[in-house]
Structure 1
């Protein structure tokens, strides 16, 4: 494709129509790209069955116009992106659907009731979320903020706590582990998966809840560091002046991650992700290149028109009729 043609496509690329844009964006700013994005999310949910452990993470990047945040859930073992909910910052905390615990519950909703373990970060971990997941046969292991409601006041400022010490608190089916990982920091883990907490025998004496949490995190920003769009086109998704286009580039990144996971698991082939992305780009453009190089189809033959012969009709002779006896 010529560079001028590619530049023209990037300039006029839109994901909605101007007629319906204004009434939709008044209530939802993300509506300008929601139709394409929702179709992508439906395919992500339908095409993969995750394992026992899934994680809820957050991805955030800055465009020229907006700060875009994505709350997503991924399979821990394969790194397959299962579900994504976008946000355009700033957003209203008064909206119940935007609250972190409700967002996390909506993300894992298709995978409830199967005895899975959900790992969450400190922004969405809460005791109400843990109780809702337990009611749906799902465990929660998540970090708790130092100022979170789940942390008792006596545990928020433990300056006298010994290094590498562990305090375990119990509430119903939830276990709260407070671990002194360094002289200035406590690590707080809320878990409904561990009724008891085993302590490691090494020098750091790390509790098993902290070990499980660290091993079941998926760094989405690190996953998308090798960006699909940048590899193929040389463009950066954060450098676009139009944030819907940056969102579309991020969609391509996540789609390439999922395609790579499906390819390696279905074919059992070993290939680097970069090589897979390049091969995928060439295959996707091959059909378009063949269509452009093919000769134009021949024009249909011109059919001869058959002229109808007019029949001569007889008219009755009248004294007032000045016309001839027959007319054609």
Structure 2
């Protein structure tokens, strides 16, 4: 394709009816690409059956332009961009949801982390979900158990359900662990450094096993570390091999991300379908 023709197509590309867009934007900030996005997301779960371990995390697509729901995340390499919630397995994006900020009423959403995990894991059964402390809570663990789904993740220390005995770190030995149990949930407080502890919650583990390593990390932490990087690895791969182009239009940024994620998901499917060949 000639470069001039490619630039023409890029300028003219739209994903909805511009005349009816203002009315739809009153109730949906994603109206400019909503129809394309929903049809694509609907197809993702049909193309791949995830393994038992699924990761839920956030993705930030780089963008510095005019967008009503652009996010600033200093922990991400791009810092500014469009955020999506992703449920992935081995970096395969199984289900995604664009975060469009506060609702049109302007009221902040309560229990957002719980709602996101329940949304992007809809349809799973018999899996284990790994997520960080933004999403994790005791209530989420109980809701997932009703769907036959277990969960492992870090927990913020301001959660009211945490027992005070797990929060203190003074006068504790480095690499020590404290456990708390209910019939369905296991909590662990681990001290990796002096006066600094991390708290994790699991509905998968039923005992207080620790590893034989020098740092004596609990099995719950090893399980969390093994699965937590699924979405981060997806970002890394599509960032290195991307079709993104410079644009000031946020719907085109989302469309480029759709192509990037679809391309990587196709590679995951091909890799899984390859037979194990004996070349000896």
Is the structural similarity TM-score above 0.5? yes
CA distance in 1, matches of 2:241, 2:203: 42
Q: How far did 1:87 drift?
A: 0.7
Q: Select the residue among 189, 196, 202 that pairs with 1:178.
A: 189
SS state of the match for residue 16, structure 2?
coil
Q: How far did 1:157 drift?
A: 4.2
Q: Select the residue among 130, 151, 154 that pairs with 1:143.
A: 154
Contact 1:125 1:142 in 2 (8 A): yes
Give the TM-score of the pair, scaled to structure 2. 0.85
| Higher relative contact order (Cα pairs below 8 Å, separated by 6+ residues) | 2
Instruction: Provide the residue aligned with 2:52 in structure 1.
Output: 52
Contact 2:63 2:250 in 1 (8 A): yes
Q: How far did 1:74 drift?
A: 0.9
Q: After the TM superposition, which residues 289-308 of structure 1 pair with which residues of structure 2 at under 5 Å, given as runs? A: none
CA distance in 1, matches of 2:276, 2:267: 11
Contact 2:56 2:231 in 1 (8 A): no
**Deviations 1:20-42, CA, capped at 9 Å, x for gaps:** 21121111201211111111111
Give the TM-score of the pair, scaled to structure 1. 0.73
CA distance in 1, matches of 2:41, 2:242: 23
Instruction: Provide the residue aligned with 2:96 in structure 1.
Output: 84
Q: After the TM superposition, which residues 79-118 of structure 1 pair with which residues of structure 2 at under 5 Å, given as runs? A: 79-89=91-101, 94-95=108-109, 99-112=112-125, 115-118=126-129
Q: Which runs of 4+ in 1 moved over 6 A?
A: none
Contact 2:102 2:109 in 1 (8 A): no
Q: Is the counterpart of residue 70 in structure 1 residue 84 in structure 2?
A: yes
Contact 1:73 1:82 in 2 (8 A): yes
CA distance in 2, matches of 1:219, 1:116: 15
CA distance in 2, matches of 1:269, 1:36: 37
CA distance in 1, matches of 2:100, 2:197: 32
Number of residue equivalences: 261
Q: How far did 1:187 drift?
A: 1.9
Contact 1:224 1:253 in 2 (8 A): no
Q: After the TM superposition, which residues 153-172 of structure 1 pair with which residues of structure 2 at under 5 Å, given as runs? A: 153-172=164-183
Structure 1 unmatched ranges of 5 or more:
271-328
Instruction: Provide the residue aligned with 2:75 in structure 1.
Output: none
**Deviations 1:211-249, CA, capped at 9 Å, x for gaps:** 011101234243233437x7465x44xx53111111111
Q: Is the counterpart of residue 254 in structure 1 residue 265 in structure 2?
A: no
CA distance in 2, matches of 1:172, 1:232: 47
Q: After the TM superposition, which residues 1-328 of structure 1 pair with which residues of structure 2 at under 5 Å, given as runs? A: 1-64=1-64, 65=66, 66-67=70-71, 68-75=82-89, 78-89=90-101, 94-95=108-109, 99-112=112-125, 115-227=126-238, 231=241, 235-236=244-245, 239-268=246-275
CA distance in 2, matches of 1:69, 1:137: 28
Contact 1:178 1:187 in 2 (8 A): yes
SS state of the match for residue 109, structure 1?
coil
More helix, by proportion: 1
Structure 2 unmatched ranges of 5 or more:
72-81
Structure with the greater alpha carbon radius of gyration? 1
Contact 2:56 2:85 in 1 (8 A): yes
Provide closer, same or farther for how the CA distance between residues 258 and 176 of structure 1 changes in structure 2, counting only shifts above 3 A: same
SS state of the match for residue 179, structure 2?
strand
Contact 1:93 1:99 in 2 (8 A): no
Provide closer, same or farther for how the CA distance between residues 160 and 31 of structure 1 changes in structure 2, counting only shifts above 3 A: farther
Provide closer, same or farther for how the CA distance between residues 185 and 11 of structure 1 changes in structure 2, counting only shifts above 3 A: farther
